[in-house]
Amino acid sequence: MLEETRQQPEALEKTLEAGLASLADLRRQFEVRRPRLVTLVARGTSDNAAQFGRYLIEITTRIPVSLAAPSVLTLYQCPLDLRDVLVVGISQSGESTDTNAVLEDARARGALTVGITNESESPMARIADFVIAARAGREESVAATKTYSCQLMALYLLAAALGGQVQVEILRRLPDWVQTVLELEERAGEIAERYTFMARAVAVGRGLNYANALELGLKLMETSYVVTERFSSADLMHGPIALIERHFPVFAFAPPGVTWPSTSAMLDRLEELKAETLVITDESNPEAAAKPARLIQLPIRCIAPEGPCDLYTPIPYIVPAQLFAAHLASIKGLNPDRPRTLQKVTLTK
């Protein structure tokens, strides 16, 4: 898991360059068949990436996005009217049975389909009309790291193909940003030691980084068996904050921009409750660094010159969370590459 986390700069660069080579063809297809709706279908870590894709595509293209419920088709046998809909399947292995079932049914019903997968010879790659390949290379660890970040990169490319306000020149900076963030590994490991006996926690993010809260929570559950509830900062304040008491662990993604005021208010409330809060931010949000909480501050400035200033934060922000989770598992004497009862490919119906 740690080695594959460290491989992300190269994997991201390969995913971006390969995707850019085929971007024009996909853009032309969308110009001919502009979708009225985008539906994303995925499971597990890929479903967390889909949550990011929902925010990204709606923000940058104004096209409504939904997250598919595969059981509507696979269990309830209720196919949907998908005319003029773009259906996007996301799967590391490309073998997710229910994801592929939705994708195949959608294509048969006239939808345009795109597959985002790390395996170019997978069933998903054969089913979809178009494929945006995650060029992460083989991922050995059951706990996904580099495939998640490459899926996020592929979703930026999809948004760009849909005419979204995504700047390729900033996407090209992401591998270097991630390389810089990887220098925080020692600090992430040191902080993880404080959480050796953690049994439950809350992970919080909002907007574009809500997906990272979901993903960090999943990693803590998969690799260290920590029961981790996952919320947006807004949802946390609507009831679940009752969970929080003195020394309760809370992990918060705190980029600058439109989500910061509500995140800041949440952090103030957590301080009043004496929670054990760890904040992930970057140098472009000095107000977060001034909060009385434990801090991982990325030594980069992620502000986007156009659009929401947190638009390009999710990929670099997930890296310290991945490092933290991997080191915590190691400190606890667990193997994050082979979590109990889990396999790399999960087949569900």
What is the C-alpha separation between 314 and 322, in angstroms, rounded?
Answer: 12
pLDDT bin (cut points 50, 70, 90) of residue 344 is low
Same domain, 27 and 161: yes
Q: How far is CA 214 from the centre of its chain?
A: 8
Q: Which residue's structure tokens are 């760890």?
A: 278
Cβ contact 102:73 at 8 Å:
yes
Same domain, 166 and 198: no
Q: pLDDT for 122-175, tens place per residue?
A: 999 999 999 999 999 988 998 999 999 999 999 999 999 999 999 999 999 999
Answer yes or no: is 348 within a domain: no
Percent of the chain with pLDDT over 70: 97
Q: How far is CA 41 from the centre of its chain?
A: 14
Answer yes or no: is 339 within a domain: no
Contacts with 247 (C-beta within 8 Å, 6 or more apart), sequence order: 274, 275, 276
Cβ contact 319:8 at 8 Å:
yes
Q: Which two tokens stand for residue 207?
A: 């907007």
Q: Which two tokens stand for residue 336?
A: 């994050």
Answer yes or no: is 349 within a domain: no
Answer yes or no: is 280 within a domain: yes
Same domain, 180 and 168: no
Percent of the chain with pLDDT over 90: 79
Same domain, 160 and 244: no
Residue ranges making up the domain that contains 188: 176-331
Cβ contact 53:155 at 8 Å:
yes
Q: pLDDT for 182-241, tens place per residue?
A: 999 999 999 999 999 999 999 999 999 999 999 999 999 999 999 999 999 889 888 889
SS3 at position 15: helix
Answer yes or no: is 125 within a domain: yes
Cβ contact 194:332 at 8 Å:
no
Going from the C-alpha of 23 to that of each of 13, 222, 327, the distances in angstroms are 15, 35, 37
Q: Domain boundary at 118, 145, 172, which?
A: 172
pLDDT score, position 305: 82
Q: Domain boundary at 126, 156, 172, which?
A: 172
Residue 346 pLDDT greater than 60, yes or no: no
List, edge to edge, every strand of the sheet that includes 37-41.
Answer: 65-67, 37-41, 85-91, 112-117, 130-133
Cβ contact 57:164 at 8 Å:
yes
Global pTM reads: 0.94
Same domain, 81 and 195: no
Q: pLDDT for 267-317, tens place per residue?
A: 999 999 999 999 999 999 999 989 988 999 999 998 888 889 999 999 999
pLDDT bin (cut points 50, 70, 90) of residue 348 is low
Assign residue 257 a region: left if phi > 0, alpha if psi is -120 to 50, beta otherwise?
Answer: left
Residue 343 pLDDT greater than 60, yes or no: no
- CATH number where 40 lies: 3.40.50.10490
Residue 338 pLDDT greater than 90, yes or no: no
Cβ contact 148:45 at 8 Å:
yes
Residue 340 pLDDT greater than 90, yes or no: no
Residue 321 pLDDT greater than 90, yes or no: yes
Q: Domain boundary at 145, 172, 199, which?
A: 172
Based on the structure, what is the number of domains in the chain? Answer: 2
Half-sphere exposure of 22 (CA within 13 A, CB side): 13
Q: pLDDT for 4-62, tens place per residue?
A: 999 999 999 999 999 998 888 999 999 988 999 999 999 999 999 999 999 999 999 99
